[in-house]
Amino acid sequence: MILDGAKIANDIRSEVAAEVKAMAAAGSRPGLAVVLVGHVPASEIYVRGKVKASAEVGLYSEQHTPPESVTTDELLALVADLNRRDEIDGILVQLPLPAHVDAKKVLMAVDPAKDVDGFHPVNVGLLSTQRPGLVPCTPAGVMEILRRSNILVSGQEAVVVGRSDIVGKPAAMLLINANATVTVCHSKTRDLPAACRRADILVAAIGRAGMITHDFVKPGATVIDIGMNRVTDPAEFQRLFAGNAKREEMFRSKGSTLVGDVHPGVAEVAGALTPVPGGVGPLTIAMLMSNTLKAAKMRRSSRAPELSWS
């Protein structure tokens, strides 16, 4: 079964749009502020997608574009201003920031109640203790794929390959909170294929093209591929897509192709699989929209003091 992330993302956007419309009609339109420093082409593409999605679901959005030369103190002042503004419910600081900027200090300055990326330690703590908070968008999207595809999580063996603070760890915590038995694997894991083969649900978030091959996967397992890697080397392309005429034509014309952390051959073994592209990727922006709506609702509810930061 191919798990259609694009369709699920569209469903979520439609649901968010309906709620945003109702809130706006009541005079309480949710708002998102995006901070993009300098000119990083990949970041500019991501931000354009986020701003476009905001408009499509009816969120108020604004973009702040300080120059590459911006100082840490200047960014802190911008974040402090956005924290104070009541019409801004979500603040997203697009990474990476320039090397001379203290990125951790800037991210820590964001009010956790407006931290729609879910990176702040306050929100990490709320997630780990199963309290209401804002959850990182990509792991939250993974859980939506599983839930909306009617894939059983409770009581299942789940293996997460990757332990990053923004994907691997929160994905593991969400699966634990959903009553899965979770193993987190990484570069120091002994016999990684054997550990992965125990999984009923295998989540790959390691950033290495096609590393998870069929010998990592238990027959019938659900495989969630969070990776997004651009392949430009012809030999590497052949390892991944030999015999795939459609991909070969695309590779010849563009000189590159996208692949996840899971080898395409895993489709012969897995019971369900997210494609790349079109799997987890579309959920990330959809969940950002959902998080902005959630932040707006929580800030207007009695739970707001629990999340406020000073």
pLDDT of residue 307: 47
- For the chain, what is the mean pLDDT? 94
Superfamily of 21-114 according to CATH: Leucine Dehydrogenase, chain A, domain 1 (3.40.50.10860)
The CA distances from residue 42 to 47, 106, 137, 205, in Å, are 9, 21, 18, 19
Q: Is 117 a catalytic residue?
A: yes
**Is the confidence at residue 11, as pLDDT, over 80?**
yes
**Is the confidence at residue 309, as pLDDT, over 90?**
no
Environment class of residue 253 by beta-carbon count within 10 Å: exposed (0-12), middle (13-18) or buried (19+)?
exposed
Q: What is the pLDDT of residues 116-169, one digit of tens each?
A: 999 999 999 999 999 999 999 999 999 999 999 999 999 999 999 999 999 999
pLDDT of residue 40: 85
Q: Is 156 a catalytic residue?
A: no
Which residue, 163, 261, 230, is CA-closest to 171? 163
pLDDT of residue 42: 82
Q: Is 238 a catalytic residue?
A: no
Q: So what CATH class is 137-283? A: alpha beta
Ranges for all domains in the chain classified under CATH 3.40.50.10860: 21-114
Q: What is the pLDDT of residues 211-222, one digit of tens each?
A: 999 999 999 999
pLDDT of residue 301: 84
Catalytic residue among 111, 117, 200, 261, which?
117
| Biggest CA-to-CA distance, the chain | 58
**Token pair 């999580």 in the structure block, residue:** 153
Ranges for all domains in the chain classified under CATH 3.40.50.720: 137-283
Q: What is the pLDDT of residues 227-276, one digit of tens each?
A: 999 999 999 999 999 989 989 998 999 999 999 999 999 999 999 999 99
Tokens of 200: 């009923």
**Is the confidence at residue 69, as pLDDT, over 50?**
yes
Catalytic residue among 94, 114, 218, 225, which?
94
Catalytic residue among 50, 169, 218, 294, which?
50
